[in-house]
């Protein structure tokens, strides 16, 4: 039995990275469907009345979405083409849990820069949201990681037994 049926890749930049290659390789190896969720946090300041009205996509979001779609289209086919959605949000805390629930993935993958996980969490609210909101296994992929891992480290909180801990250990063993 394949460990994954649905993989969700979260991308915040429209460039090829190790997380994209890992997600595509795992999806191909397990026969899983891959869904790519592009999350764009606008850098532009918005006026209070603009936030209350139905927001129009920013120019930077349109560029981000177009570039990310083109990046996915140019990747070599390894099975089914990944699904794609791009969203713009100033507050990922409100959006990410709903997206994870809607896609119901078996694994969530996100890239991280070459720094410690603690430094990464201090820099981005999206990673904090993922750690607190995701009830499925979450894989942060360093920038220099190979497409398929040779070793897998699974970290669980043994002070509070839970089905998630068991699922993480089983998923790690299957990898």
> Among 40-49, 83-92, 106-115, 164-173, where is mean pLDDT lowest?
40-49
Q: How sure is the predictor about 122, in pLDDT bands with cuts at 50, 70 and 90?
A: low
pLDDT value of position 124:
62
How many other CB atoms sit within 10 Å of the CB of residue 134? Answer: 19
| 6-11 vs 107-112, strand pairing mode | parallel
For the residues 157-174, what does the mean pLDDT come to? 81
**Residue 171 pLDDT > 80:** no
Give 78's pLDDT tier (boundaries 50, 70, 90).
confident
In contact, 9 and 109? CB cutoff 8 Å: yes
How would you classify residue 67: left for phi > 0, otherwise alpha for psi between -120 and 50, otherwise beta? alpha
Q: CB under 8 Å to 75, separation ≥6 — which residues?
A: 16, 20, 24
Give Cβ neighbours of residue 70 (< 8 Å, ≥ 6 apart).
14
Q: Residue 108: is its pLDDT beyond 90?
A: yes
Inform me whether the pLDDT recorded for 85 exceeds 50.
yes
Identify the residue with better confidence: 81 or 122.
81
Domains and CATH numbers, the chain: 6-148 (3.40.50.620)
Two tokens, residue 18: 């190790």
Q: With 0-12 CB in 10 A as exposed, 13-18 as middle and 19+ as buried, what is 68?
A: buried
What is the residue whose two structure tokens read 């039995």? 1
Hey, is 43 helix, strand or coil? Answer: coil
Residue appearing with tokens 């429209």:
14
Which tops the pLDDT comparison, 34 or 49?
34
Mean pLDDT value across the chain: 81
Tokens of 114: 């070459």
Contact assessment for residue 107 and residue 8, using Cβ atoms and an 8 Å cutoff: yes
What's 11's DSSP letter?
Answer: E
- Are the C-beta atoms of 67 and 13 separated by less than 8 Å? no
């Amino acid at each position: 039995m394949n460990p994954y049926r649905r993989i969700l890749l979260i991308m915040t930049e429209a460039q090829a990275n190790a997380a994209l290659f890992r997600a595509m390789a795992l999806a191909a190896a397990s026969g899983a469907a891959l869904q790519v969720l592009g999350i764009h946090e606008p850098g532009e300041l918005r006026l209070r009345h603009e936030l209350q009205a139905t927001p129009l996509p920013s120019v930077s979001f349109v560029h981000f979405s177009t570039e990310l779609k083109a990046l996915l289209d140019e990747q070599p086919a390894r099975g089914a083409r990944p699904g794609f959605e791009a969203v713009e949000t100033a507050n990922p805390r409100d959006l990410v849990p709903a997206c994870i629930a809607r896609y119901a993935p078996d694994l969530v993958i996100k890239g991280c820069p070459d720094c410690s996980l603690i430094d990464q969490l201090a820099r981005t609210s999206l990673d904090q949201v993922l750690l607190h909101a995701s009830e499925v296994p979450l894989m942060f992929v360093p920038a220099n990681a190979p497409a398929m891992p040779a070793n897998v480290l699974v970290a669980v909180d043994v002070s509070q037994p839970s089905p998630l801990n068991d699922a993480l250990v089983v998923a790690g063993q299957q990898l």
